[in-house]
Structure 1
């Protein structure tokens, strides 16, 4: 099943035009997902988002109430990254701490940076692998998916917190380098999903491989800018297989992204060491196409998850 899904993704993107997850990518994913939410679900979503302390900030630029709901949904997709900044004064906690996997709502003042990924560990040269982390994006998404329905018994505070995190994490798990940790003789402590390797794209600067993929769909952008970008050679018009869109198991997403990372993110000229390599046109074209397809798939799956939970 996973091989079939991956083949479908690759067939779609490699035959299409070249056009991620910084703010621009997460906001585009949220916008496209919102377009596919059922009307009653949009109202339920907005009621939950209003419990987030940033709701007024998210909607400040909206010209009318309906647009305010859209802007809140789009901007909420960046909140899990926003709380890493000094302005929020959230604690940078560790995956080994007792509270690493808690799900307690907005009373939680931890950044939980390890919730943003699940590293499937692998080595191309037989290097030893460590034990995987006990808490990651998959463990937490499963908790959140179970808690989101109103019949779950979770408080609205927890359900709001979980919804905001879900808007972000579904996108994260479709970024291929959020699903892999590569260990080589040159990088024996692991590359943290491409953060140890450097690449030189056509723009000429040296950048971490992970950041190169993160930025493909854009950096800082307003909700209105994300809507424009998505509708103009962004991800809004990318066709997603209905069968692929119905796969709502985070573990399956990780395995798909892991395979994409091995095949494309680590493709030549990327080597097994940390030294910066000059990317080829073929590599950059494939990366843009894969990123757009993965983001469109994330949007479709996010909409299906939320519709099912709040119908």
Structure 2
């Protein structure tokens, strides 16, 4: 067991920083679900835009598939000042211990839900230059995924769980926090749990999940953050209990979180499909 934990700790040092929501696997899965469930016309338009990836002039961050495109906005963070203006677009810190208030967390449109709406409008508008529509597409794919990562929608004055130290089952390290668990370790386990999430969904399934507005989705993700993410980490109401130096997600608790996380990925994928059909289909 000691050797196993040492190996896992080594792997942890090699993975991306937790600022990248869903890491690669989560974003790729949201994008792949959407791609499988859009209309043929929308899929053709998506492919046509992605084939123009050279217009972005980011050779180290390609976008020639929906999976690569879904991760481009995180990859572009590594390009320094070129895309630093977009950093605050990936999240919205809405306090889970106060009544839901999206406006206060989204001043001047610098938050993820406002950028979903903005990039949808740009993608729809065929008078917009092709390069900007391509960038709108990759931002839209990514930001819908971000919005459905609960810790990018709900916050407890801890940078969406980045400052909340946590243990994941038997995996304990000083660097591990609640955000990283939901971004990567739990996300990868949940998405990998059968049955596969990337498939063609029925009309009934799509209708049950893809309705609403970005504000509706924001409120829903905020509630998941409050009632599932933080409640499971704090062992109850996260807003009334004493502050904890470190929370622990037991193996039994982790099992109960797999389905809620899978549902968030499904919602993100099917809602993205609806938006892409609206813009391109």
Residue 121 (structure 2) pairs with residue 149 (structure 1):
no
Instruction: Identify the residue that residue 30 of structure 1 maps to in structure 2.
Output: 31
Say whether the 8 Å CA contact 2:181–2:187 is kept in structure 1: no
CA–CA distance in structure 2, aligned partners of residues 29 and 149 of structure 1: 20
Residue 13 (structure 2) pairs with residue 46 (structure 1):
no
> Which structure 2 residues correspond to residues 222-261 of structure 1 after superposition, within 5 A?
233-236=195-198, 241-261=205-225
| Unpaired segments ≥5 residues, structure 2 | 1-20
Q: Is the partner of 2:188 in helix, strand or coil?
A: coil
Say whether the 8 Å CA contact 1:48–1:160 is kept in structure 2: yes
Which structure: greater helix fraction? Answer: 2
Say whether the 8 Å CA contact 2:30–2:268 is kept in structure 1: yes
- Shift of the 133–58 alpha-carbon distance from structure 1 to 2, 3 Å rule, reads closer
- Shift of the 203–281 alpha-carbon distance from structure 1 to 2, 3 Å rule, reads closer
| Unpaired segments ≥5 residues, structure 1 | 1-19, 60-68, 92-107, 183-189, 220-228
Instruction: Identify the residue that residue 175 of structure 1 maps to in structure 2.
Output: 149
Residue 120 of structure 1, CA deviation: 1.5
CA–CA distance in structure 1, aligned partners of residues 128 and 42 of structure 2: 18
Residue 167 (structure 2) pairs with residue 213 (structure 1):
no
CA–CA distance in structure 1, aligned partners of residues 71 and 46 of structure 2: 16
Say whether the 8 Å CA contact 1:119–1:178 is kept in structure 2: yes
> Which structure 2 residues correspond to residues 1-311 of structure 1 after superposition, within 5 A?
21-53=22-54, 54=58, 58=62, 72-85=65-78, 88=79, 90-91=80-81, 109-123=83-97, 132-134=105-107, 135-151=110-126, 153-182=127-156, 190-206=157-173, 207-215=176-184, 216-218=186-188, 233-236=195-198, 241-270=205-234, 273=243, 275-311=245-281
Say whether the 8 Å CA contact 1:78–1:168 is kept in structure 2: yes
CA–CA distance in structure 2, aligned partners of residues 191 and 166 of structure 1: 26
Residue 109 of structure 1, CA deviation: 3.4
Residue 198 of structure 1, CA deviation: 1.1
**Deviations 1:7-51, CA, capped at 9 Å, x for gaps:** xxxxxxxxxxxxx61101111111111111222222211221223
Residue 133 of structure 1, CA deviation: 4.3
With normalisation by structure 2, the TM-score equals 0.76
CA–CA distance in structure 2, aligned partners of residues 217 and 307 of structure 1: 27
Residue 172 of structure 1, CA deviation: 0.7
**Deviations 1:149-180, CA, capped at 9 Å, x for gaps:** 144x3222111101001111101111111101
Aligned length: 241
Residue 248 of structure 1, CA deviation: 4.8
- Shift of the 57–200 alpha-carbon distance from structure 1 to 2, 3 Å rule, reads closer
Residue 299 of structure 1, CA deviation: 0.6
